[in-house]
Structure 1
Amino acid sequence: MNSIKTAGKTYLVIGSLIFGMLFGAGNLIFPVHLGQLAGSQWHLATIGFLLSGVFLPLFALLAISITHANGLYELALPNGKKFALIFLILVQIVIGPLCATPRTATVPYTIGIAPYLNHAMQGWGLLAYTGAFFLIVYFFAVREGKITEIIGKILNPIFLIMLFVIFLLAFIHPMGSTVTPRPTNGYVTHAFSNGFIQGYNTIDALAALVFGVTIITAVRQLGFKSQQSVSLATIKGGLIGILGIGVLYIGLIYLGTTSRHQFAIAANGGTTLNQIAHYYLGDFGNILLLTLATITCMTTAMGLVVAFAQDFHYRFPKISYKAFLRGNCLLSFLVANMGLDQIVAWSKPVLMFLYPLAIVLILLGIFSPLFKGASLIYRITTGITMIPALFDMVNAFPPVLRNTTISTSLIQFADKYFPLYQLGFSWVVFTIAGLIISVCIWYPLHRSCV
């Protein structure tokens, strides 16, 4: 009995580690917005969102565990050193100064400050807030103190308790029904696919590939030695963390859907979350939400900038750790002043390109023992997947780029010849074709060598 309790506690520790890695305050806004967009189709949209936003990161950890990789670079290495390095840099830039790190500042600003400033003051307010935000982040990150651990242990639980209070109030006194809100055009017939692609915005699958080695190392330090035991512990503990994240996402999507009876569809989930907090808790709710979101987002930002600086300093040792740290904070500050909506709009094309490649790497990593991790299968499958990924990127361009002659021609070509292109899933067909072709080439060669 004691051994069962001990094992249960160990898996709970692993689950909490994975939960803390995947769920940040920035993840609040996307499920809420998804609920507003999906309306009565929120069930299908939720399934798609959970697959890409929750289960895919778990599969990423499993792939790293199975392949014994020390991170994203090693996982992508069967495609060649140049591909692995370029892919690593692209992913690090996305979870660094291009998207995730600036978002840590713009999310709390959008949630708690922007609604109270007039249009003329929005730019100045964002400038002042993000400037102070990244100065504090740099101050603590450069010292690498234990402030993030203290915040994580004290304030993150308070933040989650507040969320569950709102969930409880929403269950007892719902803002409206989930059945009557009419879904927006994209969710009338394609709720699942749009929900799946919305999950890209969490960037958690990419983050899991970068930070997964930390989780795997932690699992090994808990006493799991063999490859099989590490993988099983990661899955069991991961399912605990996944369950917690899934519950939060479902609750947030529910809030977004029912909020349609009280509020119009907002440009982003941050505005809606502010309205919901005020609806249930008044001004106190808004102040508490702003305070907790700011601090928890700072914790996330510190982790992101430190990981970015450490990784790039390791790859390019001639440039100091502090130089990368300063550069990341400065670039993140500049990008943050584009505003949350612009960050999401300009990061979407990059995510539409990177995510199919990341999914392929994850799946190939998981099943690599079946084909001995053959480089040939990696290179052919990844190379063929890259074709529709590039076209998906073009289709996701903001209007200023999407409406150009070149982009329009490429979109029309792909729409005519690529199955599932308008759904953002044309890569699936290409990936399957690439896998079949590569296996057909590799298998006879493998048999002849045996």
Structure 2
Amino acid sequence: MNTENQQPKLTFIHYLTIGSLLFGMFFGAGNLIFPLHLGQLAGSNWFPAAIGFLLSGTLLPLLSIIAISITKSEGIYDVARPIGHHYALIFLILVHATLGPMFATPRTATVPFELGFAPYVSADHKWIWLLIYSAIFFTLTYFLSRSESHILDVIGKLLNPLFLILLFIIFLFAFLRPMGDAGQAAINTDYVHAALTNGFLEGYNTMDALAGLAFGVTIVTSIKLMGVRNPKSIAAATTKAGMICISFEALIYLGLIVIGAMSLANFKLSENGGIAFGQIANHYMGAVGSAILATLATVTCLTTAMGLVTAFAQDFHKQFPRISYLAFLRLTCLISFIIANVGLTQIINWSLPILMLLYPLAITVIFLSILSPLFKKSPIVYRFTTLFTVIPALFDATNALPPISNQAAPIQALIHFASSYLPLFNLGFAWIPFALIGFTLGIAAYLLYSRVPSLSLNAELKAKQK
């Protein structure tokens, strides 16, 4: 008898619990501050900007989860494996370094500190308080993430409800007593004619499409702990839970974007969304608002940090099994603590060029994974598409370097060349036409190989050798 059929049927409560796990890991530091800042930048053009942000901030993460399901993968390495072992390993390391100890995970500590604590300490002693706060933050993250089997219970059943209650309080004040009319708010120059595309690029900062690929192993593990073993059932459960997660996210994003636009009636355009959120909370609730905001940010960022360090430790332990899960967990928490003390501004400035490189590669591998049944997961389609994507993505990354770096003569020469000869470069999407060309060539090569038996056999032998 087939034991795969003897498994529990998941109920809506199960899907809600898994969706809550995803939501808790997705919604963190950037998810709070970037939508607010987008609202301030877009002003009365907030709606097209919101559409762009939702496409990259919610749709792409959902598609990344679906890609994990369709390919029956358990993480970043499996999804990128058709391109080649070495590429998949490099891609895994780059994504996890970005989501982990280099950028996203340190940001989970610096954002709540900047929102709720930095305004109340002197500039001279700020670094000491950040050191103390980040040490406590990552110590908690480590101990709460030690047991893989308890992640679902800790995140989904305990911390998420508290986060939602605190966020609801902020929303209640903002919409019952709006500071101004979002439809009359001033528009930043970049958002007058390109609100949709700039909103899409702003969604990169959440890093959720990358996180969706990284969290796949955690989600699959959690579903298996519920007794589900059949791959098709796991894929279906992942997709349904993902829909619940991104629906909640989309509503919160819209609310934050509108609040950001309305805040322009009282405040000038802020340097970042963290400052904006602090101003809004103080406007409505004074010191109490700051305390709530600090708690809110700490709770949501703690859940995200747990998801990030867990995914990092699980994936690296899988690739390097001689090193234990707990050793990798300690490593990522320690490095994240060190980087966090560089400060939020520097973390954001240096993460953008990396995201401009990684996001096009992630988007293409997500769509290739979803479409893979059409071309039998042929490596040649993956490789052509990736090769044609990475070159313009490197130019986009160069253009996004901080001012201290991109003003050098060689960098300016590269930017001038790309601006003159690469379509859509000035919008930040030079990679799209090249990716389409690569995909088309890859499909043509796949069809040629599949129709000529000798070529097809030769290609398979080369793929196995790699």
Specify the TM-score bucket, using the shorter chain as the normaliser: over 0.9
In structure 2, distance between residues paired with 1:277 and 1:322: 38
**Matched position secondary structure for 2:181:** coil
**Matched position secondary structure for 1:410:** helix
Inter-CA distance 235–393: structure 2 relative to 1 (3 Å threshold): same
The answer to whether residue 171 in structure 2 is matched with residue 167 in structure 1 is: yes
Task: Letter of the 2:386 partner, please give it.
Answer: T
Contact 1:148 1:302 in 2 (8 A): no
Residue pairs, 1:109-258, within 5 angstroms: 109-142=113-146, 146=150, 149-150=153-154, 152-219=156-223, 230-258=234-262
Inter-CA distance 221–332: structure 2 relative to 1 (3 Å threshold): closer
**Matched position secondary structure for 1:413:** helix
The answer to whether residue 439 in structure 2 is matched with residue 435 in structure 1 is: yes
Contact 1:352 1:396 in 2 (8 A): yes
Q: Once the 2 structures are TM-superposed, how far is the Cα of residue 265 of structure 1 from its aligned partner?
A: 1.7
Q: 2:297 aligns with which of 293, 297, 322?
A: 293
In structure 2, distance between residues paired with 1:9 and 1:328: 33
Q: Once the 2 structures are TM-superposed, how far is the Cα of residue 230 of structure 1 from its aligned partner?
A: 4.6
**Matched position secondary structure for 1:342:** helix
The answer to whether residue 284 in structure 2 is matched with residue 280 in structure 1 is: yes
Q: Once the 2 structures are TM-superposed, how far is the Cα of residue 405 of structure 1 from its aligned partner?
A: 1.5
Q: 1:263 aligns with which of 248, 260, 267?
A: 267
Contact 2:80 2:87 in 1 (8 A): yes
* Percent of paired sites with the same residue: 52
In structure 1, distance between residues paired with 2:275 and 2:443: 49
In structure 2, distance between residues paired with 1:426 and 1:410: 14
In structure 1, distance between residues paired with 2:152 and 2:130: 24
In structure 2, distance between residues paired with 1:246 and 1:218: 24
Q: Once the 2 structures are TM-superposed, how far is the Cα of residue 275 of structure 1 from its aligned partner?
A: 1.6
1:226-269 CA-to-partner distances (Å, cap 9, x unmatched) read 66555444333322221111000101111111111112222221
Contact 1:152 1:296 in 2 (8 A): no
> In the alignment, which residue of structure 2 is the partner of 1:66?
70
The answer to whether residue 80 in structure 2 is matched with residue 106 in structure 1 is: no
1:34-89 CA-to-partner distances (Å, cap 9, x unmatched) read 11111111111111111111110110111111111121101101110000000000
Q: TM-score, with normalisation over the residues of structure 2?
A: 0.89
Contact 2:42 2:191 in 1 (8 A): yes
> In the alignment, which residue of structure 2 is the partner of 1:311?
315
Contact 1:385 1:434 in 2 (8 A): yes
Task: Letter of the 1:154 partner, please give it.
Answer: L
In structure 2, distance between residues paired with 1:241 and 1:314: 27
Contact 1:256 1:272 in 2 (8 A): yes
In structure 1, distance between residues paired with 2:146 and 2:446: 49
Q: Once the 2 structures are TM-superposed, how far is the Cα of residue 103 of structure 1 from its aligned partner?
A: 0.6
Task: Letter of the 2:246 partner, please give it.
Answer: I
Aligned residues: 446
1:350-376 CA-to-partner distances (Å, cap 9, x unmatched) read 111000000000000000000011000
In structure 2, distance between residues paired with 1:175 and 1:30: 19
Q: Once the 2 structures are TM-superposed, how far is the Cα of residue 221 of structure 1 from its aligned partner?
A: 6.2
Task: Letter of the 1:335 partner, please give it.
Answer: I
Contact 1:151 1:295 in 2 (8 A): no
Q: Once the 2 structures are TM-superposed, how far is the Cα of residue 179 of structure 1 from its aligned partner?
A: 1.6
In structure 1, distance between residues paired with 2:93 and 2:151: 28
Q: 2:23 aligns with which of 16, 19, 22?
A: 19
Inter-CA distance 135–242: structure 2 relative to 1 (3 Å threshold): closer
CA RMSD of aligned residues (A): 2.4
Q: 2:405 aligns with which of 394, 401, 404?
A: 401
Contact 1:115 1:271 in 2 (8 A): no
In structure 2, distance between residues paired with 1:326 and 1:15: 27
Task: Letter of the 1:126 partner, please give it.
Answer: L
Q: Once the 2 structures are TM-superposed, how far is the Cα of residue 115 of structure 1 from its aligned partner?
A: 1.7
Q: 1:30 aligns with which of 21, 34, 48?
A: 34
Q: Which moved more, 1:157-166 or 1:349-358?
A: 157-166
In structure 1, distance between residues paired with 2:426 and 2:35: 22
Q: Once the 2 structures are TM-superposed, how far is the Cα of residue 325 of structure 1 from its aligned partner?
A: 3.0
Q: Which runs of 5+ in 1 are unaligned?
A: none
Task: Letter of the 1:111 partner, please give it.
Answer: L
Contact 1:178 1:258 in 2 (8 A): yes
Task: Letter of the 1:368 partner, please give it.
Answer: S
Q: Which moved more, 1:119-128 or 1:277-286?
A: 119-128
Q: 1:360 aligns with which of 348, 359, 364?
A: 364
> In the alignment, which residue of structure 1 is the partner of 2:79?
75
In structure 2, distance between residues paired with 1:398 and 1:249: 27
Q: Once the 2 structures are TM-superposed, how far is the Cα of residue 173 of structure 1 from its aligned partner?
A: 1.3
Q: Which moved more, 1:112-121 or 1:292-301?
A: 292-301
